[in-house]
Amino acid sequence: MDVNEAGAADLADYYRRRAASYERVYHKPERQADLRAMEAWVRERFVGRRVLEIACGTGWWTPHGAREARSWLATDLEPETMAIACAKAMPPTVEFARLDAYALDGLDEMDARSFDAAFAGFWWSHVPLQRLAGWVGTLHARLAPGARVVVLDNRFVAGSSTPLTRRDAHGNTYQQRSLDDGSTHEVLKNFPDAQALRTVLGEAATDFAWTAWTHYWAATWTVAGSGVGPAGV
């Protein structure tokens, strides 16, 4: 197992253990105004779209994004988080599939639709910087040219965000997090700015836009025509 695989396995173990308590993060009082604004914002991005959701987790964002979408395929690798998402009331257009966000293997076989949009909520920050370009290329390959991509994630806010504990040779930053079962986990968590995303996307994206709230950020872009890859690919 290489370093990337080991890190992904550790993160998967952390989220399996955290599944039952994951949504506490959305109950922080200081974040409520942001969350209400974001729920409306994300719904508007996908009206009439055929959407592929990456790493849906417990499905907090799925009903908000899918409310006016034409179709929505929510994917995740971990059965513990997927079970929570599947048990929720969802718009009738939502389907679920167990898929690895890094590979998206089997997507062509299980779903013949052409996705014209993708959504990733709180996934970008957990992808090692050295893997981002490759992941963007994998995602874009599953989308039609001209598809819309929407990514949501956290901004670092002292006093609300978990403190950072170290930075590795690639520039990735980490947090130490404790769970209800008593276990402690080092979790990769990056806090990029707009320029960092734009650099990763390179010529693979057009119409890039950045939106920031107090505790969160969102980026949207359009997938460029075929044959154009993200920076580094």
pTM flag (> 0.75): yes
The whole-number pLDDT of residue 181 equals 82
Angle at 206 between CA 154 and CA 210, to 5 degrees: 25
Question: Among 138, 143, 136, which Cα is nearest to 118's?
Answer: 143
The whole-number pLDDT of residue 227 equals 44
Q: How far apart (Å, rounded) are the C-alpha atoms in residues 58 and 28? A: 17
Question: Among 222, 99, 57, which Cα is nearest to 150's?
Answer: 222
Residue range 15-69, pLDDT digits in tens: 666 666 778 889 999 999 999 999 999 999 999 999 999 999 999 999 999 999 9
> Given strand 205-212, what is the order of strands in its sheet?
94-98, 71-76, 50-54, 115-121, 143-154, 216-223, 205-212
Residue range 142-200, pLDDT digits in tens: 999 899 999 999 999 999 999 999 999 999 999 998 877 888 889 999 999 999 999 99
Q: What percent of the chain has pLDDT over 90?
A: 74
Q: Does residue 6 surpass a pLDDT of 50?
A: no
Q: What domains can you pick out in the chain, each with its CATH number?
A: 3-162+192-223 (3.40.50.150)
